[in-house]
Amino acid sequence: MSTSLEEREAKGTRARATYSTPLWVWVIKIVLLGTITAIALLGALTAATKGSWLVMAGFLVIALVCLLVYLPPNRFLPAKYLTPGLIFLLIFTVGAMIYTVWVAFTNYGDGHSVSKDDAIVSILQQNQARVPDTPAYPAAVAEKDGMLWLVIVKDDQVLVGHNGQPMEPVEGAELTSLGGVRSVPGFRTLEFAELSSRSAEVGDLQVPLTDNAADGYYRTTTGSQAFVYNSTITYDQAADTFTDTNGVVYTDNGEGNFASPDGRTLDPGWRVAVGFDNFRTAFSSEEIRGPFLAITAWTFAFAFLSVLTTFVLGLFLAIVMNEPRMTGQKVYRTLLILPYAFPAFLSALIFAGLFNQEFGFVNQVLLGGADIPWLTDATWAKVAILLTNLWLGYPYMFLVSTGALQSIPEDILEAAKVDGASPWRTFMSIKLPLLMVPLAPLLISSFAFNFNNFTLVFLLTRGWPQFADTSLNVGHTDILITMVYKLAGLDGSTRHDYGLASAFSILIFILVGLVSYIGFRQTKTLENLN
């Protein structure tokens, strides 16, 4: 018994020696955990100052999880590998999805991109006039930390401030003989030439007199003199209303705007929840419903035809190149996958030049000087997109079909040949059913990819030619994802409707999810049949 006890103690000692952690590993672990915790706490404090309590809680949870998982040396071993991936998944995927859903149920967009408090300040700033009988203060405009500051001389004291920050005294400023500002320590004073070139920025410079925006602002138009401006519209914080000089009262209409009794609104508005209004707009607005339905139909057609054409060509070439007696088989296979090796965006730009109506290679060389409007006619532009995608997509189908063909047992094909089956009958009854089992999930994923093939459509045609019956910047070759891009104003257009764009993003997610679900159910059926 004593011998057994001694042996167990010896084994325990050896185990502790084996699993003991070196000091330098502990130092690295503590430094890394301390860094992660410090970053998380900084993020939490920043979120707290912005009033984003949910984000603050997220940072704190991340810090706590990292400490609990990585601080104990020999516990939660699987979690040590899973935690980083889960954190990034929650931040960049789940977090983005939650934010998109939130935006879809708001009026976030043009005229409603700020909070209510910011909208009130902006309304006061936009409706201003110089206060009568107020003095002109010697002034200068200076730059610091990448922003413009207004410098004035008031009561023999030099004051500086910028948009959103009231004037504060500064020491050590150098004045001119006429009482103007020559230089300010820590600031770079703008010369006359730079003031002229940045006149728009100088005109937007509005420094509040106090922390209360209703008290007025210091402004300058020349950069040498500043004046006191006050809003021509007053805000009653207790009643939450604006009143203009004509006595018209603007109240919160519950839709993100201050509105008068006759329906006039003050800009800008602010973000508010609007429920399912964005989804109703997609189907009820005459301006949006027509293009939306046409683009949806083309998106399905584009995704289906892209998968069909690339699969048929890729499978055909795979069957041809699978012949063992072919000379130079490896060379041909290498050449066939070259389009797959080039970046898709570069190929799309090249094909845009090839399909040019006036001097493109396709019209001038391949078609002997034809005048086909590949990129300006609605039908021909769609054909151009499908042909380009065929070039880009068939190598992938060729590769996966080649692998699937080589996995088919030779004895099955030999048995079919002995039974007298023709090559076509062998392909339709044996090869194709066996190929569809491993390839069906890949075809579904290819459909989902082409359903959101933004790069090809945007770089080749930019969605043009445009629809003639709508003011939206969308066209006949747009797919849903490029329509979302344009509704959000990311293409440089003047319209920025993030709420509606997010609603369309959710619809795309639902459509792709339904198609994928149905497709995978059919794939399961194929597996059962085989």
DSSP-assigned states of every residue in 465-477: SBPSS-SSS-BTT
307 contacts 388 by C-beta, under 8 angstroms = no
| 150: nearest Cα among 221, 80, 79 | 221
Amino acid at 397: M
Instruction: Give the single-character DSSP code of 215.
Output: G
Q: Which residues of the chain have pLDDT under 70?
A: 1-21, 525-530
499 contacts 103 by C-beta, under 8 angstroms = yes
CA 276 distance to own-chain centroid: 22
Q: Report, in angstroms and rounded to the nearest whole number, the Rg of the chain calculated over CA atoms.
A: 34
Amino acid at 164: G
pLDDT at 1: 47
- 426 C-beta neighbours (distance < 10 Å), count: 17
Q: How far is CA 71 from CA 26, 65, 68, 75, in A?
A: 9, 10, 6, 9
Instruction: Provide the residue count of the chain.
Output: 530
Spans of all domains in the chain: 23-104, 116-266, 284-529
pLDDT at 4: 61
279 contacts 106 by C-beta, under 8 angstroms = no
| 101: nearest Cα among 497, 511, 507, 452 | 507
Alpha-carbon dihedral angle through residues 50, 55, 56, 61, given to the nearest 10 degrees: -170
CA distance 452 to 444: 13
CA distance 355 to 370: 11
| DSSP calls for 283-333 | HH-HHHHHHHHHHHHHHHHHHHHHHHHHHHHHHHHHHHHT-TT-TTHHHHH
Phi, psi of 315 (to 5 degrees): -70, -40
- 9 C-beta neighbours (distance < 10 Å), count: 10
| 389: nearest Cα among 445, 356, 353, 347 | 347
Helix (H, G, I), strand (E, B) or coil at 514: helix
Edge-to-edge strands of the sheet including 241-243?
Answer: 234-236, 241-243, 249-252, 258-259, 265-266
| 467: nearest Cα among 451, 485, 483 | 483
Amino acid at 298: W
Q: What fold does the segment set 284-529 form as a domain?
A: MetI-like fold (1.10.3720)
337 contacts 402 by C-beta, under 8 angstroms = no
Give me 254's structure tokens: 């519950």
Q: Are strands 181-183 and 128-130 parallel, antiparallel or unpaired?
A: unpaired
CA distance 233 to 230: 9
